[in-house]
């Protein structure tokens, strides 16, 4: 499943980026957002492990913080490059509803607008790339037909998200993530999840 996952991320990342002025979404920069700290909350559900050994639905929740990079340091850069230097820290969870692997996760999210004013003034198509780690309650090694041998409880997590930014606060998006130990353990089956969620800028 790794090649389809990373192939999709490569396609999404190659989509054109609008070269117009910065769009006022979400509250990314230091000094803005809720209490100058919290940027956005996202929540929804995902298809767990995409038809592989495990299954069921995951309930997903995520909190994004404003970037620690002050806006004044990147304000003069073109939007095409600026977003690369403005990652937002995030923490989140995916809880499986059928007793399979659940996890908490953490990392960085890079956000950019691909298109603006798509259906009406102020909306847009957004792309996110995220990278970090996760802590799971799954099996290190197992012979069970409906469980995966993950090789450890601490895994890498990487993925992408494409969404419709309804306005500076609300968005709806489709996300895909991959978790594995990147070959650091003998067992490394990994997991892929595909989900849909809502976002609210703080």
Say which CATH number the domain at 75 has: 2.40.160.20
- Calculate what percentage of the chain has a pLDDT beyond 70: 85
Residue 31: predicted pLDDT = 61
User: Residue 71: left if φ>0, alpha if ψ -120 to 50, beta else—which one?
Assistant: alpha
Alpha-carbon torsion, ordered 178, 93, 129, 63, to 10 deg: 180
Residue 93: predicted pLDDT = 99
Q: Provide the residue range defining the domain that includes 97.
A: 2-201
Total structural domains in the chain? 1
Res 156 pLDDT > 90: yes
Assign 48 a pLDDT band (cuts: 50, 70, 90): very high
**What ranges make up the beta strands (E) of 1-150?**
38-48, 57-65, 88-96, 103-116, 124-136
Residue 133: predicted pLDDT = 98
Residue with the larger pLDDT of the pair 16 and 185: 185
- Calculate what percentage of the chain has a pLDDT beyond 90: 69
Rounded distance, CA 173 to CA 192, Å? 17
Lowest mean pLDDT among 71-80, 84-93, 189-198: 71-80
Residue pair 165/133 in contact (Cβ under 8 Å)? The answer is no
């Amino acid at each position: 499943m790794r090649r389809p996952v990373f192939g999709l991320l490569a396609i999404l990342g190659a989509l054109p980026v609008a070269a117009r002025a910065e769009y006022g979404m979400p509250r990314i920069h230091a000094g803005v957002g809720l209490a100058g700290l919290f940027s956005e909350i996202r929540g929804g559900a995902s298809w767990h492990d995409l038809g592989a050994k495990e299954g069921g639905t995951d309930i997903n929740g995520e909190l994004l913080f404003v970037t620690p990079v002050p806006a004044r340091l990147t304000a003069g850069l073109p939007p095409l490059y600026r977003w690369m230097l403005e990652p937002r820290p995030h923490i989140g969870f995916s809880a499986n509803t059928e007793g399979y692997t659940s996890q908490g996760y953490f990392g960085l999210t890079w956000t950019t607008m691909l298109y603006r004013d798509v259906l009406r003034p102020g909306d847009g198509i957004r792309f996110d790339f995220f990278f970090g780690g996760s802590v799971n309650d799954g099996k290190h090694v197992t012979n069970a037909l409906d469980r995966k041998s993950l090789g450890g409880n601490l895994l890498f997590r990487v993925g992408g998200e494409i969404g419709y930014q309804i306005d500076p606060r609300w968005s709806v998006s489709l996300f895909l993530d991959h978790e594995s130990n990147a070959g650091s353990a003998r067992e490394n089956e990994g997991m892929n999840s595909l989900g849909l969620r809502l976002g609210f800028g703080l």
